[in-house]
Amino acid sequence: MATEGSAVHAIEVTVNGVPHSVAVPARRLLVHFIRETLGLRGTHIGCDTGNCGACSVICDGQLIKSCMMLAVQADGCEVETIESLGDGPDGLDPIQEAFKEHHGLQCGYCTPGIVLNAKTLLAENPHPSEAEIRRALKGNICRCTGYVNIVASIEAAAAGAGSVTP
Amino acid sequence: MSTPTGETTHYPEVEQSERLGAWSGKSVPRKEDKRLLKGQGAFVDDLWMHRQGHVHFVRSPYAHARIVSVDVARCEAQPGVYATLTGEEVGVLQQPFFQMAPEPAGLMKDYCMAVGKARYMGEPVVAVLAESAELARDAAALVEVVYEPLEVVVDGIATIEPQAPLLHEEIGSNVAWHGVFDYGDVDWALENADHVVRIDRLHFHRFSSTPLETTGALVNWDPGTGVVEFRSNNQMPMFAAMFIGPAIGLGIDHMQFSSQDIGGGFGIKITSYTYLTALALLSRKAGRPVKWSESRWEHLAASAHGNERTFLDVEVPVMSDGTILGFKVRAFDDAGAYLRYEPLGAVIWSQVVPGNYRFKHVRVDYTETLTNKCPVGPNRGYSRLQHLWLIERIVDVVAKELGFDRVELRKLNYVQPEEFPYETPNGCIYDSGDYPAMLDLALELIDYEGARKRQLASAGSGKRIGIGIGSTLDSGTNNFGQSRIINSALPFSGNGEAAVVRLDLYGEITVTIGTSPQGQGHETTAAQVTADILGCNPDLVHVVAGYNKAANTYVGFSGTYASQFAVTGLGAVMGAAERLRGEIVKVGACMLGAEESDIELADGFVRLAANHEAAIPFIGIAATVFANVAELPGELADSVTLNCRYVYRPPFTVPDHETKRGKLTLTYASQVHAAVVEIDEETGQVTILDYAAVDECGRKVNPKIVEGQVHGATGHGIGAALYETFEYDADGQLLNSTFADYHAVTSLDVPHIATGEIECPSPFTPNGAKGMGEGGGAPLSTIASAIEDALPQGAHIVYDTHNNSERVYELLRSAAAAGPRGVEVISR
């Protein structure tokens, strides 16, 4: 297919613990690989320019914007998307529970990226200050909440986590 | 409630439900959250259909250009390209969209893509359908369009000058609408006032709430049935249907609309019907489903923007005690290139003619104009926030120029708590409120006295402190009859919403609603009121997610917009739940051999009030009616369906076209915000130190959801006041069409927002609630007020809603320049 160009590369990438050995077109963005190739639709697209963070995923432990990375660049990486959190189709992990309890989401479009952001933040800094939370959230745009209850949710998740690293 | 004149005709008294309370009023966690938190939501880009093609639009790089020729041959020759659709074809396949404006603007020929010429940068010119989104985009680059650039006009006032280039030749001018709203006797007031304050010019800038999910749709014109399916994130589907149907010859019965999760709307997704029309035509031509997801730059350049408005020659009569008698003004609203929801904005502001104040004499000479910019659409606080910002600017400027305390001047002129229901000069009825108490609370939340001390202490430090106040209204539940004030021929009036509540075959309670929520928690609040009325836990109530026309739960204006769900949507759910309750009681009484008056509903059972052991679970009622009906007396069986539809109708009458008077909205939620800001004298940078939002919206169904709406509206207002603006150059090129340039506010830009509560139930709604969510644009007034308070003596007044560092820097420097300040006072 002309669209995909002639260059196709074989990559091995582990997504949410599942190894994938696939051939991907060179131009395919990681976010499109996640959404279209793997069918994981919890990772969203909001801006195409790396500003909004709706496509945030965790790649080898680091929060990244999957619209800013080609799928071929994920060769050999371990990627975690929102679908990896919580047990089974209904379980919420403690960060997700905190967002539910503190009304940390409205339309839910930015939410997967923000939850993964919080997960990465709390893994590095289990008890962040409000200023640290706001600094960490800077790359994730939410148009619904004014960020107030997102900050409150992450504070609550941190408090609930006690000394246990999430 | 007393009436000020004794002559006011209010609405008929509304019987408020006594059953609400067990669940309504509580911050029940949202039903929507689990799926959204787990990434299981179904947004429009998550949907697909077998054989679907992907759409990419070729768009005009010019703001105004004649389309000389279009050549799609090379594009169509690409492998994987299914079809193209050009403006020339659209000109044949589509009738121009229905126009709400009277003639001559009503003669406008508006199509879903540019036909003959493009009138704003980004206007779609050709649609390309291909096997993948990437291929569609690549192939679109091969479309050859020859343009003849035309002279451009971007100034919303200069556009009406005779030498300005015409956008729409068939109209003969760039005026979309003009009318004078004249209430009381402003000439008398100006002649008899002790002071007249004149303000040269105020400007409300162009911005958008930019939902994080862009516009998109999956559209399929089924050749077998002739039914066109629109799976989209349009937020007012039945309004969209009204435009699409006549344009492409479809009956409402041949259009199917649905949406589940919508990633924010804020009004911007109301006017996407133009794109839905293009997608339908493309689907019919290609014989396949077509899928389109707008890119962010397309969204910023070519979806919809909020209204830009300029106010000229403001004159304000003021008495020596501080009583403001009213004002007169010339307003110019810039609608952009087409009228996709306009000119409704030309009347919608008049829901709030005097703002929160007792102004009696108001004259607004209102002109809506056309320019080579993106068409406007409703944006959170639509058309009212422009007017309310004008009023708050007036109050602050009057206070400063005449030496009144801003707080005391507001309290003196506010509509007083004992005056509700209050009739405005144009016949609107403010239902309830307590603005002075809200102001006190807002000031307490920012520690007003302490802030004044900090202000004094900051003198000479290089930082200037300012304190601002904004009082606004969020009028909710429109009377669509107000459209007749702009065009007497329009066949619209009243409002309504539909809901169905049914007891399903095995005792399940299922609710369908006519709204298309975008994060407002309708599933949760609908379950709360249903649970109260049916005596069960909201967990047992299944509210079907999203909008689906096939559910037969809609009326003419169904959708989610204009701060009304708590009244219209929940009014419909409550009515339907009451009907179902009546049927359950009837069947239960028969089965228990009791009188209906002996029956109560509790914990999912029908039981005797006097003997809780005599009880039938809902499943028993449902199973009998649906599967064991011969057990029931025939007369009873014939009289119940357990499938109850109700349409809530607010008690509106038709407003008067000639006098421009009437009851335009049912409820008036109110906001008083206060802020402390710090301005860096070196750079003009504004930092918000403290922010408080006191919102009043009647009886709250879910306080946490309400607070979330307050936070969100405040974030949008702060964003617009300090960071977000659409800037066009003289050639009509949008200068900031990505999120790298259009600075949607981040977590570092919106401060913590302290909220305060005052509850004044609406006497006019079945649950005492008022619609809310848009927020009235209070932060725009508050930030402008705070910046002005921080400026040195002799500075120019704050004249724009958008005050970035550069503009504030200029305002700081204006004091030393000792030039015109944009204001003068004439005293007797």
- A118: distance to nearest CA of chain B, Å? 13
Q: Is residue B566 part of a domain?
A: yes
Q: State pLDDT tens for residues B758-804.
A: 999 999 999 999 999 999 999 999 999 999 999 999 999 999 999 99
- A76: distance to nearest CA of chain B, Å? 25
The answer to whether the Cβ–Cβ distance between B132 and A3 falls below 8 Å is yes
Q: State pLDDT tens for residues B703-739.
A: 999 999 999 999 999 999 999 999 999 999 999 999 9
- A86: distance to nearest CA of chain B, Å? 8
CA B2 to chain centre: 31
Q: Which residue of A has its CA nearest to B744?
A: A141
| Residue entry with tokens 């009235």 | B776
pLDDT, position B15: 86
- B710: distance to nearest CA of chain A, Å? 8
Q: Which of residues 51-80 of A touch B (CB under 8 A)?
A: 51-52, 54
Superfamily of domain A94-161: [2Fe-2S]-binding domain (1.10.150.120)
Interface test with B, best of A80, A103, A134 (most B CBs within 10 A): A103
For residue B729, count other CB atoms closer than 10 A to its CB. Answer: 12
Q: Is residue B486 part of a domain?
A: no
Q: Which of B80, B212, B705 sits opposite A110 (nearest CB)?
A: B212
Contacts of B546 in chain A (CB under 8 A): none
Strand (E) or helix (H) holding B476: strand B463-478
For residue B175, count other CB atoms closer than 10 A to its CB. Answer: 17
Contacts of B521 in chain A (CB under 8 A): 106
- Please state, in angstroms and rounded to a whole number, the distance separating the CA atoms of residues B708 and B797: 33
Q: Which of B43, B135, B711 sits opposite A145 (nearest CB)?
A: B711
- B472: distance to nearest CA of chain A, Å? 19
List CB contacts of B92: < 8 A, sequence separation 6 or more: none
Lowest mean pLDDT among A21-35, B1-15, B691-705: B1-15
Q: Is residue B518 part of a domain?
A: yes
B396 and B336 within one domain = yes
Decide which of B618, B648, B678 is a domain's last residue: B648
Q: Which of A49, A86, A112 sits opposite B738 (nearest CB)?
A: A49
The answer to whether the Cβ–Cβ distance between B707 and A103 falls below 8 Å is yes
Query: Contact at 8 Å (CB) between B691 and B752?
Result: yes
List CB contacts of B582: < 8 A, sequence separation 6 or more: none
Quote the ipTM score. 0.97
Closest residue by Cα to residue B618 from B574, B585, B576: B585
Q: Which of residues 118-137 of A touch B (CB under 8 A)?
A: 130, 133-135, 137
| Residue entry with tokens 């919809």 | B304
Q: Is residue B6 part of a domain?
A: no
Contacts of A42 in chain B (CB under 8 A): 38-41
B259 and B124 within one domain = yes
- A68: distance to nearest CA of chain B, Å? 14
Closest residue by Cα to residue B208 from B809, B697, B802, B807: B802
CA B13 to chain centre: 28
Pairs of CB atoms within 8 A across A/B? 201
| Planar angle of CA B719, B724, B728, nearest 5 degrees | 165
Q: Is the pLDDT of residue B85 over 60?
A: yes
B628 and B664 within one domain = no
- A54: distance to nearest CA of chain B, Å? 8
- B748: distance to nearest CA of chain A, Å? 6
Q: Verify cis geometry, omega within 30 degrees of 0, for the bond prior to B343.
A: yes
The answer to whether the Cβ–Cβ distance between B40 and A42 falls below 8 Å is yes
Confidence of residue B2 (pLDDT cuts 50, 70, 90): very low
B343 and B439 within one domain = yes
Q: Is residue B272 part of a domain?
A: yes
Q: Does residue B466 sit in helix, strand or coil? A: strand
- The single-letter code of the amino acid at B542 is H
pLDDT, position A164: 40
Q: Which of B214, B707, B739 sits opposite A51 (nearest CB)?
A: B739
- Please state, in angstroms and rounded to a whole number, the distance separating the CA atoms of residues B398 and B429: 26
Q: Is the pLDDT of residue B692 over 50?
A: yes
Where exactly are the structural domains of chain A? 2-84, 94-161
Q: Is the pLDDT of residue B4 over 70?
A: no
Closest residue by Cα to residue B546 from B290, B237, B193: B237
Contacts of B744 in chain A (CB under 8 A): 51-52, 141, 143
Query: Contact at 8 Å (CB) between A46 and A52?
Result: yes
Q: Is residue B16 part of a domain?
A: no
Q: Is the pLDDT of residue A165 over 80?
A: no
The per-residue b/e assignment along A22-36, b for 16 or more CB within 10 angstroms, e otherwise, is eebbeebbbbbbbbe
Contacts of A48 in chain B (CB under 8 A): 295-297, 738
With the C-alpha atoms ordered B24, B25, B29, B31, is the resulting torsion angle positive or negative? positive
- Please state, in angstroms and rounded to a whole number, the distance separating the CA atoms of residues B17 and B570: 12
Decide which of B592, B615, B648 is a domain's last residue: B648
Is the whole model's pTM more than 0.95, yes or no?
yes
Q: Is B789 exposed, middle or buried (0-12, 13-18, 19+ CB in 10 A)?
A: buried
Query: Contact at 8 Å (CB) between A112 and A99?
Result: no
The predicted model gives B96-105 an average pLDDT of 98
Contacts of A4 in chain B (CB under 8 A): 132, 134
Confidence of residue B12 (pLDDT cuts 50, 70, 90): confident
List CB contacts of A151: < 8 A, sequence separation 6 or more: A130, A133, A134, A137, B747, B752
Q: Which residue of A has its CA nearest to B35?
A: A90
- A43: distance to nearest CA of chain B, Å? 7
For B414, the domain range is: 179-208+304-481+655-827
| Residue entry with tokens 């075959």 | B505
pLDDT, position B557: 87
Contacts of B711 in chain A (CB under 8 A): 145-149
Count of structural domains within chain B? 3
The answer to whether the Cβ–Cβ distance between A108 and B36 falls below 8 Å is yes
Cα-based distances in Å from B470 to B677, B678, B714 = 14, 17, 11
Contacts of A96 in chain B (CB under 8 A): 37-38
Contacts of B296 in chain A (CB under 8 A): 46-49, 52
Confidence of residue A4 (pLDDT cuts 50, 70, 90): very low
Query: Contact at 8 Å (CB) between B690 and B444?
Result: no
pLDDT, position A5: 54
Q: Does residue B730 sit in helix, strand or coil? A: coil
Strand (E) or helix (H) holding B532: helix B522-534
CATH number at residue B285: 3.90.1170.50
Q: Which of B212, B261, B753 sits opposite A143 (nearest CB)?
A: B212
pLDDT, position A6: 64
- Please state, in angstroms and rounded to a whole number, the distance separating the CA atoms of residues B564 and B494: 13
Contacts of A44 in chain B (CB under 8 A): 43, 45, 212-213, 263
The answer to whether the Cβ–Cβ distance between B296 and A49 falls below 8 Å is yes
B779 and B672 within one domain = yes
- Please state, in angstroms and rounded to a whole number, the distance separating the CA atoms of residues B93 and B281: 8
A33 CB within 8 Å of a chain B CB: no
B663 and B630 within one domain = no
CA B448 to chain centre: 32
Q: Is the pLDDT of residue A163 over 70?
A: no
The answer to whether the Cβ–Cβ distance between B750 and A148 falls below 8 Å is yes
Superfamily of domain A2-84: Beta-grasp domain (3.10.20.30)
Interface test with B, best of A106, A138, A153 (most B CBs within 10 A): A106
Closest residue by Cα to residue B664 from B349, B417, B244: B349
Q: Is B51 exposed, middle or buried (0-12, 13-18, 19+ CB in 10 A)?
A: exposed
B538 and B432 within one domain = no
- The single-letter code of the amino acid at B796 is H
A110 CB within 8 Å of a chain B CB: yes
Query: Contact at 8 Å (CB) between B233 and B259?
Result: yes
B364 and B252 within one domain = no
Q: State pLDDT tens for residues B125-170.
A: 999 999 999 999 999 999 999 999 999 999 999 999 999 999 999 9
Q: Is residue B8 part of a domain?
A: no
Q: Is residue B158 part of a domain?
A: no
Q: Which residue of B has its CA nearest to A114?
A: B37
B323 and B198 within one domain = yes
B620 and B669 within one domain = no
B326 and B257 within one domain = no
Q: State pLDDT tens for residues A42-78.
A: 999 999 899 999 999 999 999 999 999 999 999 999 9
B355 and B267 within one domain = no
- Please state, in angstroms and rounded to a whole number, the distance separating the CA atoms of residues B369 and B627: 62
- Please state, in angstroms and rounded to a whole number, the distance separating the CA atoms of residues B733 and B658: 40
Q: Is the pLDDT of residue A162 over 80?
A: no
Q: Is the pLDDT of residue B365 over 70?
A: yes
pLDDT, position B252: 94
Cα-based distances in Å from B95 to B99, B244, B323, B402 = 11, 10, 53, 56
Interface test with A, best of B30, B35, B37 (most A CBs within 10 A): B37
Decide which of B293, B316, B335 is a domain's last residue: B293
- Please state, in angstroms and rounded to a whole number, the distance separating the CA atoms of residues A144 and A150: 10
